[in-house]
Amino acid sequence: MTIDWRYTVEDNLGILSVAGYLGPEAVRRFGGAVGWVVARGTGPVVVDLTELRSWSAEGQLAITEAARRLADAGRSLELAAIPADGSLVPSGDCPPIPVHADLAAALAAHGTKDGEEAEGRQEWRTTGWPTGDQAE
């Protein structure tokens, strides 16, 4: 089982939405998504886990590795809507990872409203990511 992802750049904020199960089989694909994020956009990145069913210990390690990669690129990582079945416990050498209750709270922390279309918005996604309007 793998994940699907969508990366949206709005103003100076990136949103990486992840759906599925972030387990050992999906870690490589998640790392590829993070590479895509590092190469595009600037500023902080919110990893939206609203559609993530669950994550394994390997998946959590992939999140902390993503925080390191983004920090090396001069960017920060934040989480929105972590799975209810566990909390993220980064290692001591990991950059701080702010956690928001949901995507709306993360966007509000950056002065952006949920559902607000930003000028110059760009979006990339895996082929498995649903297109069109979704009921949230």
Write the secondary structure of 10-33 as one string of H (helix), E (strand) and C (coil): ECCEEEEEEEEEECCCCHHHHHHH
- What was the pLDDT predicted at 136? 38
Q: From start to end of 11-135, where are the E strands?
A: 13-22, 45-55, 77-80, 99-100, 122-125
Task: Please give the Cα distance from 43 to 29 (Å, whole number).
Answer: 22
pLDDT digits (tens, 9 = 90+) for 8-53: 998 789 999 999 999 999 999 999 999 999 998 889 999 999 999 9
Q: Which domain CATH number covers 67? A: 3.30.750.24
Residue 100 lies in a domain: yes
Residue 62 lies in a domain: yes
pTM above 0.85, yes or no: yes
Q: Is it the case that residue 115 has pLDDT exceeding 90? A: no
- What was the pLDDT predicted at 27? 96
Domain of residue 77: give its range.
3-117
Residue 53 lies in a domain: yes
- What was the pLDDT predicted at 3? 93
Rounded (10°) angle between helices 27-39 and 57-72: 20
Residue 111's CB is within 10 A of a number of other CB atoms, namely 8
Task: Please give the Cα distance from 16 to 112 (Å, whole number).
Answer: 15
Residue 125 lies in a domain: no
Residue 31 lies in a domain: yes
Residue 34 lies in a domain: yes
Write the secondary structure of 65-77 as one string of H (helix), E (strand) and C (coil): HHHHHHHHCCCCE
pLDDT digits (tens, 9 = 90+) for 61-113: 999 999 999 999 999 999 999 887 656 666 677 898 999 999 999 999 998 86
Residue 110 lies in a domain: yes
Residue 17 lies in a domain: yes
Q: Which residues, in sequence order, are CB contacts of 53 under 8 Å at separation 6+?
A: 20, 21, 83
- What was the pLDDT predicted at 46? 97
Q: Number of structural domains, the chain?
A: 1
pLDDT band for position 133 (cuts 50, 70, 90): very low
